[in-house]
């Protein structure tokens, strides 16, 4: 459906026949026999690009200790690039499995939740970095069948997925912090151990639709990736493999069938598949169920991914008893209800033609363009905004929620107006029917110009140097439309409440758009105010609740030297973590 699919057959022909476009000019290290197995073909990727939404599950005995899976182990970390400085002592962590007895686990219930969430596929951790096998591995005793539970969880999940028509990926970590030979002088012994695992996972569990590797800082040569890919694609034709197969495969310029931004929204990219994997809580696995992101934040994360041309794999970490934590379960079900009403604007679409901007995102298929209006409007503002003319005549428009909408298309400008009665929680979708194929439209930038000259930050307090106002306003911030992975953010001191963050300019500036993002692991703000300085006092022009990863506000033009956000309430008494704060 997407234009890249038209190019795939040509690319694959060149790969299989000559190795062109994947070999660098000076290197031909991958033998020709392996080249046809490097990538999946375009047809095999179609279902994945159409799906847009998957569920990721990280689970294992670490849930007993309520520490992050693998990373909560205080012991060697081969392949990680950095060693542990704290955590559960290795001897204790590695014996947790002897107590692991998730008696409430029910594979059918889990997969039913996946299906009702609207997700089309499940990714499950068969072996994380800690080396524990959540399947009945034939070559080790460090596995689920040697726990008090004694059952093959992976097998039960595979059977449930096949029964309910849910696609299935196995997550598998190549590095293994428990195996004594991994990445040592005896590494070849471990590598064969790993190959045996993957052979078993791809031959004894029915149809497997993907492998999600997690190579950390290792290289392709550590795993003999060309040989590994040949085995995988021979055992399961049509299978997909993510990009984390190890860096630096000689002569191969692009890793994997799709990209894997982690804990960030990927940049706008429609010429290669990608999937954001993100946690619903602060950690990948069960750590006590703290700071679960709201339904509103999680749904808008999905919308931002779809609007940028990618998928979302939304993660949960089950409890040691084998249950999905109720707030996370309810988030999945709520997303599913939304998708049952609005899925036509997500499934089978690609991003664009309008690139993401403060107003929202767009998706498209056939002769339809879907505008997902994600901005809020200040109370005194008109609910209207302008975009560039898409380039084809608009025949009709409708709001998927039934709210009145009108538009004009003239002089190269598309103006959208939404009636004041329209609801904006959590999305307002306008469907445009155009005269022609929406997929043939070139991407259109929608970013207004950020006002930055002379901008200087201030805050009520900060917890440490890289959590100050200067840290986020003085460094290089990620563009609103080009991904949201931020290394720094503002965080006030614990006892600072209500806290505030703001910036000022040397002279008054005029703006009509405001954007804010929170650090992706801690979207905890639940009530806030936006204020401008009138020369004598602070004036509140907006009172809101959640920010998440994509808050934006359209206002009447405001002219001022100073703007600030005042945080009034956070989830579970968390400190606010704001990554970006901009005006346009």
At residue 423, the pLDDT reads: 59
pLDDT at residue 12 above 50? no
Range in 267-281, 385-399, 421-435 with the lowest mean pLDDT? 421-435
How many domains in the chain?
3
**Residue closest to 515 by CA, chosen among 465, 447, 468:** 447
Residues 158 and 69 in one domain: yes
**Closest alpha carbon to 523 in 305, 359, 275, 279:** 279
Q: Verify that 219 and 338 share a domain, yes or no.
A: yes
**Mean pLDDT computed over 470-481:** 57
What percentage of the chain carries pLDDT values higher than 70? 91
Q: Do 135 and 167 fall into the same domain?
A: yes
Q: How far apart are CA 245 and CA 318, in angstroms?
A: 27
Find the helix or strand (DSSP H, E) in which 351 lies.
strand 350-351
| pLDDT value of residue 576 | 93
Query: Residue 47 belongs to what H/E stretch?
Result: helix 42-51
Determine which of 12-21, 164-173, 223-232, 358-367 has the lowest per-residue pLDDT on average: 12-21
- The total of other beta-carbon atoms located within 10 Å of residue 389's CB is 16
Q: Residue 376 sits in a domain of what CATH number?
A: 2.60.40
Residue-wise pLDDT tens digits, 501-541: 999 999 999 999 999 999 888 889 999 999 999 999 999 99
At 565, which helix (H) or strand (E)? strand 551-570
Is 247 in the same domain as 301?
Answer: yes
> What contacts 24+ positions apart, CB below 8 Å, involve 87-96?
92/65, 93/62, 93/65, 93/67, 93/130, 94/130, 94/142, 94/178, 96/61, 96/62, 96/64, 96/65
Whether residue 331 lies inside any domain: the answer is: yes
Residue 516 within any structural domain of the chain = yes
**478: pLDDT confidence band, cut at 50, 70 and 90?**
very low
Q: Would 4 be classed as within a structural domain?
A: no
Q: Of the residues 316, 343, 370, which one is the last residue of a structural domain?
A: 343
Query: CB within 8 A of 306, min separation 6: which ones?
Result: 52, 312, 346, 349, 351, 361, 363
Q: How far apart are CA 397 and CA 377, in angstroms?
A: 21
Query: 290 and 143, same structural domain?
Result: yes
477 Cβ contact partners less than 8 Å away, ≥ 6 residues apart:
486, 579, 580, 582
Instruction: Provide the β-strand partners of residue 530.
Output: 542, 565
Closest CA to 24 of 246, 250, 178: 250
What pLDDT score was predicted for residue 452?
Answer: 93
Residue after which a domain boundary falls, among 440, 471, 488 = 440
Q: Any idea which residue has 């040989």 for tokens?
A: 227
Q: Is the pLDDT of residue 349 over 60?
A: yes
The model's pTM? 0.92
- In 3D, which of 377, 390, 332, 363 has the Cα closest to residue 541? 377
Domain shared by 513 and 570, yes or no: yes
Tokens of 330: 């309810």
pLDDT band at 421 (very low <50, low <70, confident <90, very high): low
| Domain span at 219 | 51-343
- Comparing 1-15, 241-255, 269-283, the range with the smallest average pLDDT is 1-15
DSSP 438: G
Establish if 45 belongs to a structural domain. no
Residue 349 DSSP SS3: coil
Output the domain CATH number for residue 540: 2.60.120.260
pLDDT, the chain, mean: 91
* pLDDT at position 480: 32
Residue 477 lies in a domain: yes
**Structure-block tokens of residue 192:** 């064969």
Question: How distant, in Å, are the alpha carbons of 89, 216, 233, 522 from that of 15?
Answer: 48, 27, 15, 43
pLDDT for the residue numbered 427: 76
Rounded CA-CA distance 319/383 in Å is 44
Tens-place pLDDT, residues 56-66: 999 999 999 99
pLDDT of residue 27: 47
| Shared-domain flag, residues 498 and 433 | no
Q: Are 503 and 515 in contact (CB under 8 A)?
A: no
Contact 78, 215 (CB under 8 A): no
Determine, yes or no, domain membership for 1: no
pLDDT given at position 473: 87
Q: Which two tokens stand for residue 424?
A: 């904006």
Closest CA to 532 of 516, 555, 552, 549: 555
Quick check: bond before 297 cis, omega within 30? no
**Domain-ending residue, one of 293, 308, 343:** 343
Q: Residue 19 above 80 pLDDT? A: no
- Which residues are paired to 458 by β-bridges? 502
Pair 58, 78 in one domain: yes
41 domain-assigned: no
pLDDT, tens only, 244-273: 999 999 889 999 999 999 999 999 999 999
Give the per-residue pLDDT at 347.
Answer: 98
Q: Are residues 501 and 533 in the same domain?
A: yes
Same domain, yes or no, for 478 and 429? no
Helix or strand run (H / E) with residue 124: strand 121-127
Segment 328-345 shows an average pLDDT of 97
CATH number of the structural domain spanning residue 157: 3.20.20.80
Q: Is residue 577 a part of any domain in this protein?
A: yes
**Using the 8-state DSSP alphabet, how is residue 498 labeled?**
S
Residues 296 and 154 in one domain: yes
pLDDT tens sequence across 297-319: 999 999 999 999 999 999 999 99
Q: What letter would DSSP give residue 465?
A: G
Residues 6+ apart with CB under 8 A from 376: 424, 542, 544, 551, 552, 553, 554
The answer to whether the CB of 268 falls within 8 A of the CB of 308 is yes
In the DSSP assignment, the letter for residue 355 is P
Residues 375 and 436 in one domain: yes
């Amino acid at each position: 459906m997407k234009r890249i699919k038209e190019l795939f057959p040509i690319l694959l022909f060149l790969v299989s026949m000559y190795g062109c476009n994947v070999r660098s000019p000076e290197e031909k290290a991958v033998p020709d026999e392996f080249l046809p197995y490097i990538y999946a073909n375009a047809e095999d990727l179609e279902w994945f690009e159409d799906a847009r939404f998957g569920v990721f599950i990280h689970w294992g005995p670490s849930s007993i200790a309520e520490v992050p899976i693998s990373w909560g182990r205080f012991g060697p970390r081969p392949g990680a690039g950095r060693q542990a400085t704290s955590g559960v002592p290795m001897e204790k962590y590695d014996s947790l499995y002897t107590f692991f007895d998730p008696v409430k686990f029910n594979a059918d219930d889990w997969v039913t939740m996946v299906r009702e969430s609207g997700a089309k596929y499940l990714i499950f951790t068969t072996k994380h970095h800690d080396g524990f096998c959540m399947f009945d591995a034939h070559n080790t005793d460090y596995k689920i069948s040697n726990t008090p539970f004694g059952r093959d969880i992976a097998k039960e999940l595979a059977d449930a997925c096949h029964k309910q028509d849910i696609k299935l990926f196995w997550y598998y970590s190549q590095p293994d912090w428990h195996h004594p030979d991994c990445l040592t002088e005896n590494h070849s012994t471990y590598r064969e151990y790993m190959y045996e695992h993957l052979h078993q996972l791809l031959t004894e569990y029915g149809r497997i639709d993907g492998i999600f590797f997690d190579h950390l800082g290792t290289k392709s040569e550590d795993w003999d990736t060309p040989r590994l890919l040949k085995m995988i694609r021979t055992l399961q034709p049509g299978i997909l493999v993510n990009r984390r197969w190890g860096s630096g495969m000689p002569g191969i310029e692009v890793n994997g069938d799709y990209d894997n931004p982690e804990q960030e929204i990927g940049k706008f990219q429609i010429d290669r598949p990608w999937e954001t994997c993100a946690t619903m809580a602060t950690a990948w696995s069960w750590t006590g169920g703290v700071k679960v992101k709201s339904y509103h934040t999680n749904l808008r994360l999905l919308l931002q991914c779809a609007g940028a041309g990618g998928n979302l794999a939304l993660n949960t970490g089950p409890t040691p008893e084998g249950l999905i934590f109720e707030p996370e379960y309810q988030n999945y079900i709520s997303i599913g209800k939304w998708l049952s009403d609005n899925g036509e604007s997500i499934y089978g679409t690609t991003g664009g033609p309008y690139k993401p901007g403060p107003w929202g995102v767009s998706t498209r298929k056939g002769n339809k363009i879907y505008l997902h209006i994600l901005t809020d409007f200040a109370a005194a503002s008109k609910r209207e905004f302008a975009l560039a003319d898409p380039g084809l005549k608009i025949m009709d428009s409708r709001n998927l929620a039934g709210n009145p909408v009108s538009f004009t298309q003239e002089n190269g400008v598309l103006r959208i107006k939404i009636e004041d009665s329209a609801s904006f929680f959590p999305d307002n979708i306008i469907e445009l029917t155009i005269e022609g194929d929406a997929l043939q439209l070139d991407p259109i930038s929608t970013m207004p110009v950020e006002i930055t000259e002379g901008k200087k930050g201030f805050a009520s307090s900060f917890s440490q140097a890289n959590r100050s106002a200067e840290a986020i306003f003085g460094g290089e911030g990620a563009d609103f439309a080009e991904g949201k992975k931020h290394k720094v953010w503002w965080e006030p001191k614990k006892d600072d409440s209500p806290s505030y963050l703001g910036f000022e300019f040397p002279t008054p500036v005029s703006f009509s758009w405001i954007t804010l993002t929170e650090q992706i692991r801690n979207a905890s703000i639940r009530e806030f105010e936006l204020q401008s300085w009138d020369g004598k006092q602070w004036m509140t022009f907006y009172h809101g609740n959640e920010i998440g990863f994509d808050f934006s506000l359209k206002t009447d033009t405001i002219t001022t030297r100073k703007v600030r956000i005042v945080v009034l309430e956070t989830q579970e008494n968390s400190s606010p973590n704001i990554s970006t704060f901009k005006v346009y």
